Copies of this chain bind each other. A is one copy, B any other.
């Protein structure tokens, strides 16, 4: 029998218990042994729930029980999750977690403890919910140099942007709708400001570089400034706007960014709508690939956590994933990266085009019926640094959105 303890009986925690119960036969067959939930840690009680008899309120009961071989951490947040995970690993118990904040901040250290103890620290569910991406990057795309990884990594904002695109709704409206449906929190900051996506791309960047990428170093811009009018311009250009989290290789370095971006119809991420997530990967020999699925939700996330548990149960005394080292990777400055920019500006296109072109070089004008006193233009490819410098000359600029080619 393989005994596990689940830390946290919230949405994901109860999902983990449910998945193990629903698919126990198939799971035990894959492990070649019986998987048993011995404890569930939660401060609350759940009278009437069959879990009540396994419930403990004291983490020490779990960490001191030599029968517990695997700990599932699904509490979220840094503390006490960090302390509990570290103590579990030090006690020789493998850990599976869905906690992106924990992995982004302490991944390298926790991986190194697992390596020393010849056990495992796995976190498939921390990025892309149920979508397999950590394991494919680590075990499947091993013949490639990964040159780019760009994802729609936050379901809430993707739901909101999809609504704005297809229904012409405005930001405040769709936020309220997302909150009413339970897709967005009352305090939606982590989603709409891009913080959630930022931690996820930090994890993916660490994976593809093999070094620690600090999420604090990643330029992050949310969707709070995206308006109904921006979407009208996007449609006019045959594009859409998505919140992209992206990491691109430049020789031995990476540049990473989280920001809304304009995407052409032909881009594989263009059609990823609603709460779905997708991760686009470009390998130097593989070419383009994409992984798509439910980026959040109780059961999809629990599916990924339990898959990690299955892997850990099959490899109780063997470290199986390479992952990344503690050594920090300095990201390239955003100012050095090149792209095309879409800019909305006040004024009259005909009157201003020559002046704009004398600064930005050749531009193409975009006009939208019904939007008066303003127009849009698209630059040729230029560096962010150069764009910043030039745009400072034009106080009439309303908004800039990067174009993803």
Q: Which residues of A contact B (CB under 8 A)?
A: 18-20, 22-23, 26-27, 30, 124, 130-132, 135-136, 139-145, 268, 270-271, 283-294, 297, 299-300, 302-307, 309-311, 322
Contacts and interface: CB of A to CB of B under 8 A. Distances in A.
A268 to B, nearest CB: 6
Given A140-B304, A143-B306, A286-B294, 7 more contacts: A26-B145, A130-B289, A139-B139, A139-B307, A140-B307, A268-B292, A285-B302
Nearest to A146: B26
B287 A142 contact: no
Contacts of A287: 130, 293-294, 297, 299-300
A30 B322 contact: yes
A116 to B, nearest CB: 17
**Count of identical protomers in the assembly:** 2
Nearest to A25: B145
A290 B278 CA distance: 9
A276 to B, nearest CB: 8
Given A292-B268, A293-B288, A27 B142 contact: yes
Return the 5 tightest CB-CB contacts between A and B, nearest first.
A143-B306, A289-B293, A132-B140, A290-B292, A286-B303
- Report which residue of A131, A145, A293, A297 has the largest number of chain B beta carbons within 10 angstroms of its beta carbon: A293
A311 B131 contact: no
Contacts of A268: 292
A139 B308 CA distance: 9
Given A289-B130, A293-B289, A311 B144 contact: no
Given A285-B22, A290-B292, A311 B142 contact: yes
A144 B284 CA distance: 32
Contact of A140 (B18, B135, B297, B302): B135
B303 A144 contact: yes
A136 B130 CA distance: 12
A300 B19 CA distance: 35
Contacts of A140: 124, 132, 135-136, 304, 307
Given A141-B307, A143-B307, A130 B286 contact: yes
A30 B310 contact: no
Nearest to A290: B292
A27 B285 CA distance: 12
18 contacts: A19-B285, A22-B284, A23-B144, A23-B285, A26-B144, A30-B142, A131-B289, A132-B140, A135-B139, A141-B307, A142-B306, A143-B303, A283-B303, A287-B293, A287-B297, A289-B292, A290-B290, A291-B292
A143 B285 contact: no
A286 B293 contact: yes
B136 A132 contact: yes
Contacts of A23: 143-145, 284-285
Q: A142, A284, A294 — which one has the most chain B CB atoms within 10 A of its CB?
A: A142
